[in-house]
Amino acid sequence: MKKIPPFVMERNFLILMLGVFVNGLGSGIYYVAGMLLVLNVSGSVLYSGFAFFALTLANTMSFLIAPLANYAKYKNSLVYSNLIKAIILFTIPLVNYTIGLNVWYVITLLFITALFTQFTYPIESTILPIIVGKDHVIEANSYLQTIRESMDIAFIAGAGILISLIGTIPSITITALCLILVSTLYAFFNFQQPEQDREKSKSIGSAVTSYFTDLKAGFTYISNSLVTHMIFSLVFINMSMVIMTTNLPAFSLLKGNGIEAVYGFYLASMSLGVLLGSILSPKLKHIDFGKLIITTFAGTGFMWIGTSLLPLIPSMILFSTGAISLGIINILVFSSIQKQVETAYIGRVITVLTSAAGLGMPIGSLIGGVLGETFAPEIPVMICGISMIIFSLFWLSSSVLRKLPGIDHVHLFSS
């Protein structure tokens, strides 16, 4: 029997795992309920595009938000941010049962809660090496991602059924309660936050200067790195993914003959694929990274073309299998960043990278909304599959990306 790594039983890592578990329950319900609520209130796929535009715009803005985490304690930031998100979500049932919900109010709240997520996500990425040590980052990330995706499989699949039984509004209330529980859990963290080498100043001018210095540091890390060779292809693939996910609620309703729970099943099948990729990633880190990405994403493209054409059950199987490549690239790339970047810069580098890679996502959400209004929902899914193949061909045509060695030997950043 394989021995359990000692970091798994460490107090702070257990708290983080439990927080990820509860967050998985809440976010699984929220993701399904939020998008179905927009579709139900508006009755239009175009507004689903606007909702995804709001979510992806928040993701693109994350590079502006991440440096703010340096001016607060990591623990306090996690606790209060999740608490504020809970309060925001509690306003949805309040407004619904009093003056009635407007679709733009829902979209605005989706945007605001997404902004808070952009603030907390880099903090969680930053504290992981502090808790487990840099030597255990890939394995610890694999543990956490396995929990995330396992919960997504169970909770997103169950969310569709739950929403069918109790409705979208009560389901969002459950998410708010989960966020309160997460805030309570994170209040028990006791890790030591590293001291930042910056001069403390009370002047607003100095604080603004420090903010832009932090912001520039993230860009400097990225600009002098191998990551710049990946950005264009990542922008392209993210835009294609959003074109598909914008239409996934309508696509699921079509494949499932109008049954709302099928949307949850499609999301769960994607989570299953990402989970398998996360589990496999530590075993694949010795394979040449360039060849691994080219092969897996080409396979994803063909599988998702099949997803758009086949009946429900084989469609979901191919959709899940195609998502394995997403889990692999997520774990390997972000684990490398956490290992190679100084702790104080991890959050900034990750958010600059995700912001840059997400530049095409707001555009993709609007394109997806227009395509969904104009064509059958299978078309955007097929377009995404074709885009995965184009992504693979781009990496194949680039000698720098094609020849990348195993991820442990890839130097993403110049020394």
Q: Give the whole-angstrom CA distance, residue 235 versus residue 243.
A: 13
Residue 1 confidence (pLDDT): 45
Encoded tokens for 154: 């169970």
Residue 320 confidence (pLDDT): 92
**Interacting residues of 397 by C-beta distance below 8 A, sequence separation 6+:** none
Q: Give the whole-angstrom CA distance, residue 339 versus residue 331.
A: 12
In sequence order, what DSSP letters do the residues of 346-390 get, joined into one string?
HHHHHHHHHHHHTTTHHHHHHHHHHHHHHS-THHHHHHHHHHHHH
Orientation of helix 103-132 relative to helix 74-96, angle to 10°: 160
Q: pLDDT digit of tens for each residue in the chain (415 aa)?
A: 456 666 667 788 888 888 877 877 787 777 778 877 887 788 777 787 788 788 777 777 766 666 666 666 788 888 988 999 999 999 998 998 888 888 899 888 888 888 887 777 767 777 777 777 766 776 777 677 666 666 666 666 677 777 777 878 888 898 899 999 999 999 888 877 666 544 444 444 565 566 566 666 666 766 666 666 677 777 888 888 888 988 888 898 888 887 777 887 888 888 788 878 878 887 887 788 888 889 999 999 999 999 999 999 999 999 999 998 888 877 777 777 666 666 666 666 766 676 666 677 778 888 888 888 888 889 999 999 999 999 899 889 888 778 878 776 767 665 5
Do you know the residue count of the chain?
Answer: 415
In sequence order, what DSSP letters do the residues of 110-150 get, joined into one string?
HHHHHHHHHHHHHHHHHHHHHHH-GGGHHHHHHHHHHHHHH
Q: Where are the domains of the chain?
A: 11-190+210-409
Q: Which fold has domain 11-190+210-409?
A: Growth Hormone; Chain: A; (1.20.1250)
Residue 344 confidence (pLDDT): 62
Residue 350 confidence (pLDDT): 67
Residue 201 confidence (pLDDT): 44
Q: In the beta sheet, which residues pair with residue 210?
A: none
Residue 288 has φ and ψ, to the nearest 5°, of -50, 120
